[in-house]
Amino acid sequence: MDEYLRINRANWDSRVPVHVQGYGIERLVTDPTALSDVVAFDRGRLGDLTGLDVVHLQCHLGTDTLSLARLGGRVVGLDLSPASLAQARLIAARAGATIEYVESEVYAAPAALGDRRFDLVYTGIGALCWLPSIQRWARTAAALLRPGGRLFVRDGHPVLNSLAVVEVGAEPVDRTQQSWITGPGASTAALELPYFEQAEPLTWTDEHTYAGDAPVASPTSVEWNHGLGEIVTAVLDAGLRLTALLEHATVPWEALPGLMVLDEATGEYRLRDRPERLPATFTLTAVKPA
């Protein structure tokens, strides 16, 4: 197994005991009509999945996977992390849902799934950043689709992924004309991390994960960003036809701590100050020509 997969698998396995407390699992298990917030956000765009074969790449605890099954899909969830899949199986059993879970890294998915083909490949919300090559990801997704099948991605926007929270030092020059630009001493989001895909990943060590308070045992992870143009180009190069590309000002987790507030309309986070500055997530859909 590649080193990046080994590191990220240990990281994701160790997030599981923390995430089972913070992922809203009880609501999903006890209410058979409940959907995860992530799937609910895109419900109109996803439509009725009745009778469709669906594969959810990087399914983690299977909360979105279960939600896709509740929209009518015959769903397979796939993930690198055995601890995630063990919980996902438990959650599906408690909810009385029939979902198949397969352990595999994304690029090996076609082989792991025995060359089965699907009507819908679904992925997102913290998925693409764990993959070194967006071109290879798009080829993998295309290989999993039947002719006429659909790719559906909603993920963190690459602009969001390139930001770090910093304190402004000197007076910004343009503030003389645009008075709302953040002034000295205040925090803002700055373009500090790569936007375009790089050969070398960013290595992070963080004991804290986005859902839950307890520290994680394997805090190191490696990540890549992929620019929006690179994502679209990869999808087109893989032979898919782009059908929608939307950018949203909100994101399901508090991605820029201290700078975000809960948005009443969506139940997601957005910038507190001038949210029109930031594309926080995107939804991309594409079809494989019949």
Residue whose C-beta lies closest to ligand SAM = 126
CB-wise, 12 or 101, nearer to ligand SAM? 12
Name the residues that contact ligand SAM, by CB under 6 A.
5, 8, 12, 38, 58, 60-61, 63-64, 79-81, 84, 105-106, 124-127, 130-131
Which residue's CB is nearer to ligand SAM, number 155 or number 182? Answer: 155
Smallest gap, in angstroms, from Cβ of residue 204 to ligand SAM?
Answer: 13
The residue (of 2 and 273) whose beta carbon lies closer to ligand SAM is: 2
186 φ/ψ angles, rounded to the nearest 5 degrees: -100, 160
Q: Minimum distance from CB of 5 to ligand SAM (Å)?
A: 6
Pick between residue 64 and residue 197 the one whose CB is nearest to ligand SAM. Answer: 64
Smallest gap from residue 20 Cβ to ligand SAM (A) = 11
Residue 9 CA: distances (Å) to CA of 3, 122, 218: 10, 20, 9
* Cβ 12 to ligand SAM shortest distance, Å: 3
For the bound state, the minimum distance from the C-beta of residue 107 to ligand SAM, rounded and expressed in Å, comes to 7
| Nearest to ligand SAM of 68, 235 (CB atom) | 68
Q: Which residue has the tokens 């950018």?
A: 247
Least distance in angstroms from the C-beta of 287 to ligand SAM? 22
Across 244-269, b (16+ Cβ under 10 Å) vs e yields eeeebbbbbeebbeebbeebeebebb
Assigned token pair, 266: 């969506």
Comparing CB distances to ligand SAM, the nearer of 137 and 182 is 137
